[in-house]
Amino acid sequence: MKRTLGVCYYPEHWPEAQWAEDAQRMAELGLTWVRIGEFAWKRMEPREGEYDWGWLDRAIETLGAAGLKVVLGTPTATPPKWVCKKHPDMFAVDEQGHVRGYGSRRHYCFSHQGFLEECRGVVRAIAERYGRNPHVAAWQTDNEYGCHDTVISYSDAARDRFRGWLRGQFPGQGNDGDIDALNAAWGNVFWSMDYDDFDEIGLPNLTVTEPNPAHVHAFRRFASEEVVAFNRAQVEIIRAHSDAPIAHNYMGRVTEFDHFKVGDDLDIASWDSYPLGFLEDRVGADAADQRAYARQGDPDFQAFHHDLYRAVGKGRWWIMEQQPGPVNWAPYNPSPLPGMVRLWTWEAFAHGAEAVCYFRWRQAPFAQEQMHAGLLRPDSVAAEAFGEAAQVRDELADAPDVASAQAPVGIVFDYDADWAWSVQSHGAGLSYFGLVFDWYRACRKLGLSVDILPSSAREFSGYAAVIVPGMMHVPIDLKVALQASDTKSILGPRTAARDADFNIPTPLPPAWAGSDLVVSRVQSMRPDLPVPIEGGGHVHLYLEQVEGGGEVVLHTADAPVAVRLDAQTTYVAGWGDDEAHMRLIEAVAPDLATMHMPEGVRCRDTGTERFWFNYTDQPVQVEGHTLPAAGVLRLRL
Ligand code: GAL
């Protein structure tokens, strides 16, 4: 498959007389894809059941006539006022019980069945009209599920469906669930929380002190499945009318729903990459790194998501929105260092992206995103990113097709574990995403390409090492599969720390067949009290006390940090820093061909090329080449 470029475009924002020239310029820029429509519900269906397709017919025709392919979005992230008036209780409710109302976007509760019917209606109408349109070559469902904290809703609709979902989890006689089974599984004897009926169960907010973690975790699982069901409802309708592939555009570090499960219903995974916005907003970098990378973004955050979405899309993935200049939404919104838009684009291709689409074509002079750059300024003059996109277009001319190779290292990413950590973090700042991302960064600092693996993976052959940090519930068949493979695995901390119902299992974790190692005590620690590891590195934030096990691989002055469970498996009892993680990877899998990367430089191999990326603002030397600041080096393997 060829690597392609695209852009996000809002024909409804511009006079129709401008469309043909826009389309012409897009084609000249070498773009293949134009994503449209995802916020245009009011223009498509101004009043209930009254559709206005004329403008969209002409927009698609104009783009298609210029040789562009359309990605058509379903507009369900922006229900118009008439929908909201018809369903006054369709809004999500936050943890404090406040309604998250009309006036921006994503103002809906995934559980509201009346709203879901409205969505089915508009999606069916769009699919019927454009399902066979030759220019509509792909679809996008909704927009960024979960962005703006919109997965979890404490609405009445969510409560009622949660009760029904729980009945299904604890099946009993007839249609009713087995409430005693739920009480036993959750440990509701504690604090006299036993229920007599599923209809007594509320949502786990507005309690005096913390609610039962099993209750919260069940609610998080339910909330994720509501997103899966919402997406599936759209997919079923589109598929009935169109053979074009269907994507969703996920957002960076949104973990409140299981992207793998949504992805199972789709053909392509895509995500929206805003490296500078993320650095300020969600990477979790310290102040020094935020300064050093202010105009480049974190050197690993984009790559992590590229690898994640390659897995979610089972190999097929895109960037649906690529930051082109300053954005409007982070605490600080600097300009990218010259060259970074090109670097970000090539980095996505290096990780196997089929397409990179820039957000957006032209900066909007009105409404919420006035301060968000586009490829064009509001006056249609080319903005800085336009030239960098043109450079990529020229470079793509002699680039090979998309070719991904299996990486030497796999890291398991489990959404359920992310919810478990957030339900019961046991210490400020302890997050599953943060832990997995730390391991990912350590691999990359060793020059290793990484595959992210879903927790449903059971086949590990071909990997020199598989890392399963913090996966709080590990199903027995995953344990068996890890033990049966000849891949080295690194587990912990907290791996297998809970059973499926959020209880501490006995025998104590990690209950690894053939090993007597047990986690006998857990503690979280102040971030300013790291504990040195003998020989280099630290353990910080979290350290377990372990008993038993085999050879100690790393230890502090008085306690083990990493212990062998068997010949292939090592259990890590704490949260290490980069040096500790790097030492462990090299100790556990000495066959890996590691290279210690210069600061801010990263490397990635595809099946046919080796890429080097310089995230710093200074030139560096790699493999006999000078890589300028924000530089990309592409070598054929
Ligand atoms: C994304 C969103 C776009 C736009 C963009 C601005 O999260 O999908 O619609 O708002 O952010 O950076």
Which one is catalytic: 45, 226, 256, 321?
Answer: 321
Ligand 1: residue whose CA is nearest its atom 1: 272
Length of the chain: 637
Atom of ligand 1 nearest to the CA of 323: 12
pLDDT tens figures, 392-439: 999 999 888 877 899 999 999 999 999 999 999 999 999 999 999 999
Distance CA 35, CA 130 (A): 14
Rounded to a whole number, what is the largest CA-CA distance in the chain? 75
340-350 vs 301-312: helix axis angle to the nearest 10? 30
pLDDT tens figures, 472-520: 999 999 999 999 999 999 999 999 999 999 999 999 999 999 999 999 9
pLDDT at 403: 79
pLDDT at 398: 87
Closest CA to 389 of 426, 355, 423, 429: 355
Q: Which residue among 359, 371, 372 has the greatest number of ligand 1 atoms within 8 angstroms of its CB, and so is best to mutate?
A: 359
Q: Is there a contact between 460 and 478 (Cβ–Cβ < 8 Å)?
A: no
Atom of ligand 1 nearest to the CA of 143: 8
pLDDT for residue 637 is more than 90: no
pLDDT at 142: 98
DSSP for 429-471? T--HHHHHHHHHHHHHHTT--EEEEETT----TT-SEEEETT-
Atom of ligand 1 nearest to the CA of 368: 10
Atom of ligand 1 nearest to the CA of 328: 12
Ligand 1 mean position, distance from CA 272 (Å): 8
Distance CA 562, CA 554 (A): 5
The pair phi, psi for residue 489, each rounded to 5°, is -125, 145
pLDDT tens figures, 618-636: 999 999 999 999 999 999 9
pLDDT tens figures, 110-136: 999 999 999 999 999 999 999 999 999
Distance CA 270, CA 143 (A): 11
Ligand 1 mean position, distance from CA 249 (Å): 10
Distance CA 322, CA 5 (A): 10
Distance CA 8, CA 193 (A): 51
Instruction: Give the residues across from 50 on adjacent strands.
Output: 47
Give the CA distances from residue 189 to residues 192, 205, 209, 215, 499, in Å, rounded to whole numbers and listed in that order.
5, 20, 17, 13, 18
For residues 97-117, average pLDDT: 98
**3-state secondary structure at position 549:** coil
For residues 4-31, average pLDDT: 98
pLDDT tens figures, 494-504: 999 999 999 99
Ligand 1: residue whose CA is nearest its atom 12: 327
Ligand 1 mean position, distance from CA 459 (Å): 36
Structure tokens that stand for 305 in this block = 């998501």
Ligand 1 mean position, distance from CA 361 (Å): 13
Residue with tokens 């001319």: 397
Q: Is there a contact between 225 and 165 (Cβ–Cβ < 8 Å)?
A: yes
Ligand 1 mean position, distance from CA 196 (Å): 46
Q: Which residue among 142, 369, 371 has the greatest number of ligand 1 atoms within 8 angstroms of its CB, and so is best to mutate?
A: 369
For residues 317-345, average pLDDT: 97
Q: Which residue among 321, 328, 363, 370 has the greatest number of ligand 1 atoms within 8 angstroms of its CB, and so is best to mutate?
A: 321
Question: pLDDT exceeding 70 applies to what percent of the chain?
Answer: 100
pLDDT for residue 232 is more than 90: yes
* Sign for the pseudo-dihedral over CA of 58, 59, 63, 64: negative
Q: Which residue among 13, 71, 272 has the greatest number of ligand 1 atoms within 8 angstroms of its CB, and so is best to mutate?
A: 272
Structure tokens that stand for 247 in this block = 């994507």
Ligand 1 mean position, distance from CA 344 (Å): 17
E strands, 274-399, are: 317-322, 355-358
pLDDT at 404: 80
Atom of ligand 1 nearest to the CA of 249: 8
Instruction: Give the residues across from 376 on adjacent strands.
Output: 362, 382
Q: Which residues make Cβ contacts (< 8 Å) with residue 290, sequence separation at least 6?
A: 279, 280
Q: Which residues make Cβ contacts (< 8 Å) with residue 9, sequence separation at least 6?
A: 22, 26, 34, 35, 36, 63, 360, 361
Which one is catalytic: 38, 118, 144, 347?
Answer: 144
pLDDT tens figures, 560-610: 999 999 999 999 999 999 999 999 999 999 999 999 999 999 999 998 999
Ligand 1 mean position, distance from CA 22 (Å): 21
Ligand 1 mean position, distance from CA 321 (Å): 8
Active site residue 321: yes
Amino acid code (one letter) for 519? V
DSSP for 111-152? T-HHHHHHHHHHHHHHHHHHTT-TTEEEEE-SS-TTTTT-S-
Distance CA 291, CA 275 (A): 14
Distance CA 344, CA 319 (A): 10
Atom of ligand 1 nearest to the CA of 359: 5
pLDDT at 399: 87
Q: Which residues make Cβ contacts (< 8 Å) with residue 99, sequence separation at least 6?
A: 91, 92, 93
Atom of ligand 1 nearest to the CA of 38: 9
Ligand 1: residue whose CA is nearest its atom 9: 143
Pocket of ligand 1 (CB under 6 A): 143-144, 147, 251, 272, 274, 321, 327, 329, 359, 369, 372
pLDDT at 175: 79
For residues 78-93, average pLDDT: 98
Atom of ligand 1 nearest to the CA of 277: 12
**Cα torsion at 101, 104, 105, 107 (round to 10°)?**
0
Distance CA 363, CA 379 (A): 9
Ligand 1 mean position, distance from CA 336 (Å): 17
Amino acid code (one letter) for 106? R
Ligand 1: residue whose CA is nearest its atom 10: 369
For residues 148-176, average pLDDT: 95
Q: Which residues make Cβ contacts (< 8 Å) with residue 306, sequence separation at least 6?
A: 317, 347, 348, 351, 352, 353
Distance CA 611, CA 417 (A): 32
Give the neighbor-by-neighbor strand order of the sheet with 632-636: 601-605, 609-614, 632-636
Active site residue 354: no
pLDDT at 169: 97
Ordered alpha helix ranges (H), 560-605: 578-588
Amino acid code (one letter) for 305? H
For residues 185-199, average pLDDT: 98
Give all domains of the chain, ordered by start, each with its CATH number: 4-149+233-396 (3.20.20.80), 156-218 (no CATH), 409-588 (3.40.50.880), 601-636 (no CATH)
Distance CA 456, CA 192 (A): 36
Ligand 1 mean position, distance from CA 147 (Å): 9
**3-state secondary structure at position 472:** coil
Closest CA to 1 of 318, 315, 271, 354: 354
**3-state secondary structure at position 626:** strand
Q: Is there a contact between 449 and 576 (Cβ–Cβ < 8 Å)?
A: no
Confidence (pTM): 0.98
The half-sphere exposure of 268 on its side-chain side, counting CA atoms within 13 A, is 23
Mean pLDDT (the chain) is 97
Give the neighbor-by-neighbor strand order of the sheet with 488-491: 450-454, 409-413, 465-468, 488-491, 569-572, 560-564, 552-555
**Cα torsion at 105, 267, 408, 458 (round to 10°)?**
100
Q: Is there a contact between 276 and 326 (Cβ–Cβ < 8 Å)?
A: yes
Ligand 1 mean position, distance from CA 36 (Å): 13
